[in-house]
Amino acid sequence: MKTIDKYLFQALDNYPYSLEETIESLDYAFSYDAKNTMVLCLYGRIQAEQLWNYEEAKSYFQEALGINIHALEVYPHYIQTLILNEDYEEAQKLIDFALTIKGINKSEIFVKKAILFEAQHQFKKALKEMKNAKLYTLQFAFDCDISEVEKRIKGKIDLLKNKKKPKKSK
């Protein structure tokens, strides 16, 4: 095992529970290989998920994909960051491209597509993508995530239905 792998595993193991140790391990890994896509992806995740600095996160994800367009670990996090930053058009293009990449977890990408539609309040389209996510899932553990997102979207549809019903007057 290479030294960079040791530090990368430490960073992944510590994230998100010990950010200080995560950053320390990432910095060591980065010093061994500044072009490691996993390292860049985790830096991007920290920027997006912990610091809410979406523009900085995007630059890390772009750098990683510039190094290796087949860095499968980057796509779900990059797409989520684009959605949170309300870069919907860019997110749609990245989703479309990601779905063409051999070996990518298509189920996870379809969930991200559903979340994109959810963010835009296009709930029927979101549910359609959830069906695609279910069709492509190959991991039992991922089924729970799919169910939770689907449940949240259906809850929003119900919320809108209840809002539209006129109140009966006495």
pLDDT of 90 = 98
- Is 142 in the same domain as 93? no
- Is 85 in the same domain as 15? yes
93 occurs within a structural domain: yes
Task: For residue 105, give every residue at least 6 positions away whose Cβ sits within 8 Å of its Cβ, in sequence order, or none.
Answer: 72, 76, 139, 142
Q: Lowest mean pLDDT of 9-13, 107-111, 118-122, 137-141, name the range.
A: 137-141
Would you say the pTM of this structure is higher than 0.95? no
Mean of all residue pLDDT scores within the chain: 94
62 occurs within a structural domain: yes
CATH at residue 48:
1.25.40.10
**9 in Cβ contact with 22 (< 8 Å):** no
- Is 38 in the same domain as 78? yes
55 has pLDDT over 70: yes
From 75, 104, 133, give the residue that closes a domain: 104
170 occurs within a structural domain: no
- Is 91 in the same domain as 51? yes
pLDDT of 162 = 83
22 occurs within a structural domain: yes
Spatial separation of the C-alpha atoms in residues 46 and 79, rounded to whole Å = 15
Q: How many structural domains does the chain have?
A: 2
pLDDT of 139 = 79
- Residue 144's pLDDT band (boundaries 50, 70, 90)? confident
- Is 76 in the same domain as 9? yes
Domain that holds residue 98: 1-104
pLDDT of 165 = 66
164 has pLDDT over 90: no
Segment 84-89 long-range contacts (CB within 8 Å, at least 24 positions apart)? 84/48, 84/54, 85/54, 85/55, 85/58, 86/119, 87/58, 88/116, 88/119, 88/120
Spatial separation of the C-alpha atoms in residues 44 and 145, rounded to whole Å = 22
- Is 31 in the same domain as 72? yes
How confident is the model over 123-128, as a mean pLDDT? 97
Q: Lowest mean pLDDT of 19-28, 55-64, 130-139, name the range.
A: 130-139
- Is 92 in the same domain as 29? yes
